[in-house]
Structure 1
Amino acid sequence: MNKQLLGLLRDLPRWRIIFLIVLAGGLAMLTFLLLENIITSILYNSLVFTNTRNAFIDIVGPRKWDRLLQVVEPVVYLVLWMMLTLLYLYLFYRRERRAYYDRCVSRLIQDVAFIAEGNFNDRLKEMPFQDLALLSDHIMIVVDRLKQSMKEELQAEMTKNELITNVSHDLRTPMTSILGYLSLIENDKYKDEVELRYYTQIVYARASALNNLIHDLFEYTKLRNKTVSLEKIPINMVEMLSQMEQQFRLELERSGVECRQFYSTEEKYVLGDSNKLARVFENLFSNAIHYGKDGKYLDIFLKDEDDTLIIDIVNYGDPIPAIDLPHIFDRFYRVEKSRSAETGGSGLGLAIAKDIIELHQGTIDVSSSSEKTCFTVQLQLLNKQS
């Protein structure tokens, strides 16, 4: 009620408020005079009232009766006039409140029509009436959801265009190289069998890179569309990490990187898809060797806290720039911008790794400083005795 009254007072012109107050007082006075004449006529023509008044005068005396009338009559008249004035003010308030409600409805309709024309950043004004306020809130919820839907649609369109651009670039580069060398071979533009073999090796390498990119694209699409089914089994992560070290032993030696393990041989199990999780750590090991070879060490930390297994893959190469850290798990994102196969892969490896970890209800994060770069994987620990 207070909100409605304040809104009404703000909405009405000052002259109208003063006019209604004066009108209420005037009507109250006229009504009071009319009632006074009617009541006085009835009372003085009533035999019962006349006898009662005369008896009371005989008891108190005429003088006291006159003094009593002089004191009581003004008070009674004032109280009655104020009550009638308040009654008229209340009736005026009810009428103006209804008119104010209609004006609020009209304003709400106009504001909704303005938003419907495409002005989705505009907000509906606060309504003083509960039902209109509830309607306004629900309309704004619909508008906000529509804005979010439009934003997501725009983002999806931009993502699609970006995906087409990136895929076209990454497919065209090796394909151009393959066609170029095959053209040399087709036209016998090589000096000897050694050069021919060199050309075929290049073609094979480019075709392998192209095949890997296509495979990554299919896997990334399936992961994003949630069409991948996980074959979960208990996995000993200590054993998997040790196997990773052996798998990358030759690559570690060629890069001059020493792999150091900072965990015990006690078995630590998680429930997951072994092939998918192996893909994650293959990518993390490969990145750590490729980008951290100047640091000479690749460190693996494994620990458990409560029901969580925490795995850190640490290298000591060049840090990842702070501007790139928030985007490191975005698809096709590379810290170096050349998109060269010599300096990076398809740009999907970390995006795929993130999706796989999230399918296992885990998390993967990265931190980087001038001292080290650390990828942290957290998975739910499985209590298994073996």
Structure 2
Amino acid sequence: MTSLSSATYNSIDSKLDPASSKQSPPALFYPLDINNLHLRNRLAVSSMCSYAAGPGNQIANLHLSRYKSFSAQHPGLIMIEGMCVDPKGKLDDKELGIWNDKQAEKLKDVVDEIHKDGCVCCVQLSHGGRKAIGDGGGLNDNGNASVAINDVVDDGVEIIAPSAIAYDNRSKVPKEMSLADIKHVIASFAQAAKRAVKISEVDAVEISCCNGNLLHQFMSKATNLRQDEYGCQSVQTRCKLLLDILDQVRHQIGAQTPIFVKLSACDNLFKDESLDDFLAIADLIVATGQVSLIHVTSGKITPNSKPRYALNSDPNVPGHIPLASVLKKHIDDECLVGCSGALDMDVLRLNKYVEDGLIDVAFIGQGFLEMPDLVNQFAAKLHYKLT
């Protein structure tokens, strides 16, 4: 692979000045094959958590109508919002879960609607780690109501993380995970993926390793102080949990279903963070031969993480394009690369990013919520007639 030693986002985002595209059809509307899947274009609906789950953390009517509105537009890919693999990892009481078969059966209702419109869908699997609320009903171990001590809620509910470091001074200190806890988390991801594929019949699964969640906590030097095989000693040890999960997920879902990884490129704690660890982690992921696409994002590991746009030198370039383009240059065609983050602010430039091979897939979130005909609008701006 090409070496980009000591690459930083400052060194590359100033070079991204796309010219107008002359190709027809536009690059955004080129089809793309991922394993056995056929994407009709490069536009993907990002995972957007609604925190509107029904009883039992199951799919509700809101989700059915939302995803039907997305599939009616015929984007290339629809990411179903993050679904928690274990009740201890919930970020919210209303977060969707996929830790039991009933949840997966309800998810199939959404998948069926998406498939009726001929669209491809992927579900994102996640665990909140130290940012989770845990699995409890607000009572402590004695059955009494939760109490606040020094502004930190003590509700007797256990949350877990690689190390016993609270997210902030108002957050609960998590339990440092034992090897048994780690084994349980690996099994939780694998079984959730199996349910999603075998029961819900999704077309792909995405493992979420970003936004300060559990897998990101293992990856980050800011939150992993362990000294065991999953510890902070090297990129390989910090990446081991993700790699173990990928191995077990593939074992459970078979050889054909694509696996994606949503990966944090850096923690956004200061302007000139090196991307060397990010590229090394990507190398390990690609080397498994199990991952078809890496979805690039960044930040949110601590309250001090800065917004991506505040760290880039060119405000006209969407925040994660520089990071994704470094990765794409590094791994070339060994894995597809996508990113999200204000990609809909300039359609002509976005089309040029895809045309020039800086990214393969454009993940768009808020735009799909705000524009019920986003795909048609993009085509019109690119003077392309959809058929």
* Same-fold call, TM cutoff 0.5: no
Report which of the two has the higher share of helix: 1
The structure with the largest alpha-carbon Rg is: 1
